[in-house]
Amino acid sequence: MPDFGIFRGFNDKLFGNKLYAGQLPTQLGTVGSIVASDVDAQAFFNRVIAAGGNLSLLEQYAVNQLVLDLKSYSIWSKMKAIYPMVGSSSAACAQNLKSSSFTGSFSSGWTFASTGIKNTSSSGFFETNCNDNNFANNSISFGCYSRTNISLTTYDFGIYNTSLGRGTWMRLLNLGGFGGGVQQAPPEIGASNSDSRGFFQMSKNGSTTVLGYRNSSQLINTTSTTTNATNTTFYLGALNNGGTAAFGFSGKEFAMAYIGDGLSATDMTNYDTAVQAFQTTLSRQV
């Protein structure tokens, strides 16, 4: 067959670069070339578009794979909200990957980039609209992926209602430790930690045992008396104290966050595997 060079150019102009089997989409353009093979990933992409955001093909690929991985690990069904923080805009980053529920909103003071979202240490929180009354006692998990190593006397994710004296919260690095609480009152549970970068998770799964992980390392395995929900929504970047961002602002860049039902130790290590692969695909792993 003769090589009609004109047709090569014609095709390239109409259809962009071609993707061959085994290739990762890298710079193939923005949405309009959606490559999802999973219906839930596709639905998320549609929500991003409807909100006025857009995703690169690489981001779509990474998100699609994350969904497939979480389903293969039987984690997906336990999730209420997953925020992959892709799309470099508030419209895209506010979308919940898991469903159309719990679309978030950002206070002023955030920046949005391909590496995630970042608030200042003086302002900025992400309202998830995910209320802790969506979870049964002794069945809740939450986590976030931080790309910033900084020690501040601030808290990073969750709820603490001072009037009720209880909540579900975490701080990644404060006073030399990783700590928090899960459906409980103080005192806080903590462990030594020297780096606030990584994937941090906490969970109660069917009992009063609290597990806490940084990446694949279990840092916390203890118990706390379980208290009832506070009827408060989770904030990322600060804690929610009855509708007010409290206990300082995180000042970190977040590249993912989730809130779900209780996870086992195996779930949490599998979740780390999936999330690290997700971040690596996007070249923003730490």
Instruction: List residues near another protein by CB under 8 A.
Output: 51-52, 90-91, 94, 103-112, 120-125, 153-155, 160, 162, 165, 185-188, 245-248
| Residue whose CB is less far from another protein, 24 or 175 | 175
Token readout for 269 is: 């290590």
Closest approach, Cβ 235 to another protein, in A, equals 11
Task: Kindly tell me which of 27 and 153 has the beta carbon lying closer to another protein.
Answer: 153
CB 169 to another protein: min, Å:
9
* Cα-trace Rg, the chain: 20
Which lies closer to another protein via its Cβ, residue 88 or residue 131?
88
Q: Which is nearer to another protein, 180 or 198 (CB)?
A: 180
Q: How far is the CB of 4 from another protein (least distance, A)?
A: 46
Tokens of 225: 């008396």
Considering beta carbons, is residue 119 or 270 the nearer one to another protein? Answer: 119
- CA 202 to CA 182: how far, in whole Å? 7
Q: Which residues of 121-159 are buried (b: 16+ CB within 10 A; e: fewer)?
A: eeebbbbbebbbebbeeebbbbbbbbbbebbbebbbbbb
Alpha-carbon separation of residue 225 from 152, 159, 168, 202, 228 (angstroms)? 28, 17, 12, 15, 10
Closest CA to 238 of 152, 128, 129, 158: 158
In angstroms, give the least distance from the CB of 153 to another protein: 7
Closest-CA residue to 51 (of 103, 12, 7): 103
Q: Which is nearer to another protein, 94 or 202 (CB)?
A: 94
Closest distance to another protein from the beta carbon of 274 (Å): 26
CA-CA distance, 34 to 56, in Å (whole number)?
Answer: 9
Nearer to another protein, 245 or 282 (CB): 245
How open is the CA angle 14-18-21, to the nearest 5 degrees? Answer: 155
Minimum distance from CB of 101 to another protein (Å)?
15
Q: Cβ 107 to another protein, closest distance in Å?
A: 4
The region that residue 10 occupies, defined by phi over 0 for left and psi between -120 and 50 for alpha, beta otherwise, is alpha
